[in-house]
Structure 1
């Protein structure tokens, strides 16, 4: 009888041991993956800070626009000169949160370069009560204007992003191609420019609206997965001890 029980105990622990091993391997793999994500995120943040804080360089010429990749130019600090077409303003709705402490709009205005090409410039944030350009007439800058700012790729959308409706002026994404097509701007840059913070007559819109603080929780995620793997092993050890 004792010999039979001795043989049953290892068999009783076999499948729990296999399940623990597989679960531990899976949780450890998730932790390692988060460590790789951590290294990627830290490199990305460092690259963005380097580009955003660098002295402004000349805007890439129109002849290079078609070949530009977002990874090559995103957050690059540039300078350009042109004339705003204030009558073709697009307002991108932004809820409160992040850089915006209250709901409002990003004011995107086409800037016509000397070459005749257009670049959509995100001039900055305006609160809800400044939606109408008539409520901020001094900010409708006329004549040749020098701009410094950050190059930005078209903004992506997710399942919860409402559809843009240019006909009614309802925009929810920063999409220069969509804005250019609606206003018949050609040729137009495939990127936009987030204008730097600078004094604006009347105070609106307020530049420097680019969000430059990014969440980086990958280390805590990795520690969570490794902790769960350790807890799983501990549970199995207790289980095996109770069935020794």
Structure 2
């Protein structure tokens, strides 16, 4: 009877793939229905509502990007006219605008889309340059400081108006998402060195100085300017795709059933008594 055990196991694996196929169809239909709903205003979302219950809902956010806190996740490849190019996903906090009631009331992490590798290299060079500037000691002489001191007090008081830093308000139409589930082949993130290989929302929020329960959305706005083509937002159709689609589960089912039939037939032939010819 042990000879029939491989056939029973492979038959069970084929049946399991049928169940997984049905679950995958339900999951993709659920995503498709959620994405078809009208976008909701981010500020209308209850502050205590769990973001998991809102996943795959489209939302509209307004605010300003805090470019200095951008994080690059990757590398991620992108095929352009048959040519594969490596790049990164850029995730930037969208922060409230002071005095603007339409802007978000709390920061949001926005995956703005794909950018070339040069974007990350330039950001690293800029951050290293800032660190070097901070390490340079002041070389001003004491006499210069004294002259500046007397020059300051000798001036008549003037009324100066401090200008607030200019911010560029943006509107983002995105989809609420959660953290990625990396495979065993993906390295661990290293926030200390700025190496991010997959999206870990709580860790990215912490690295950006935001609460770990910060909402994370992926930009799906396809209104990309030809003069400013990057970042390239995600295509909404990719959100209703999976690494293993229902057709793949069906192929696996046929493979396991075929293997089950083959090994069962071999076991039957092995146990079938042979006819003795006289």
TM-score, structure 2 normalization: 0.68
Would you say the 8 A contact 2:64–2:168 is kept in 1? yes
Which residue of 214, 217, 230 corresponds with 1:193?
217
Quick one: structure 1 residues 49 and 115, their matched pair in 2 at CA, closer, same or farther if it must change by over 3 Å? closer
Q: What corresponds to 1:225 in structure 2?
A: 256
How many Å separate the matches in 2 of 1:124 and 1:209? 9
Would you say the 8 A contact 1:106–1:126 is kept in 2? yes
Which structure 2 residues correspond to residues 56-95 of structure 1 after superposition, within 5 A? 56-59=39-42, 61=45, 63-65=47-49, 67-68=50-51, 70=52, 72-95=53-76
How many Å separate the matches in 2 of 1:166 and 1:235? 55
How many Å separate the matches in 2 of 1:40 and 1:209? 24
Q: What corresponds to 1:204 in structure 2?
A: 230
Q: What corresponds to 2:266 in structure 1?
A: 235
**C-alpha deviation, 1:97, in angstroms:** 5.9
Which residue of 38, 41, 50 corresponds with 2:21?
38
Would you say the 8 A contact 1:105–1:128 is kept in 2? yes
Which residue of 121, 126, 148 corresponds with 2:115?
126
How many Å separate the matches in 1 of 2:181 and 2:41? 26
Quick one: structure 1 residues 121 and 22, their matched pair in 2 at CA, closer, same or farther if it must change by over 3 Å? same
Which residue of 145, 152, 155 corresponds with 2:180?
155
Deviations 1:55-98 (A, max 9, x none): 32233635224x34x3x233222212122111111111133268
Quick one: structure 1 residues 116 and 55, their matched pair in 2 at CA, closer, same or farther if it must change by over 3 Å? closer
**C-alpha deviation, 1:233, in angstroms:** 2.4
How many Å separate the matches in 1 of 2:16 and 2:112? 39
TM-score, structure 1 normalization: 0.77
How many Å separate the matches in 1 of 2:75 and 2:32? 24
Quick one: structure 1 residues 228 and 169, their matched pair in 2 at CA, closer, same or farther if it must change by over 3 Å? same
Quick one: structure 1 residues 134 and 158, their matched pair in 2 at CA, closer, same or farther if it must change by over 3 Å? closer
Uncovered stretches (5+) of structure 2, i.e. residues with no partner: 97-102, 126-165
Q: What corresponds to 1:172 in structure 2?
A: 197
Would you say the 8 A contact 2:62–2:104 is kept in 1? no
Uncovered stretches (5+) of structure 1, i.e. residues with no partner: 1-17, 136-140
How many Å separate the matches in 2 of 1:42 and 1:98? 27
Would you say the 8 A contact 2:182–2:198 is kept in 1? yes
Would you say the 8 A contact 1:85–1:110 is kept in 2? yes
Choose 1 or 2 for highest CA Rg. Answer: 2
Higher relative contact order by CA 8 Å / sep ≥ 6: 1 or 2?
A: 2
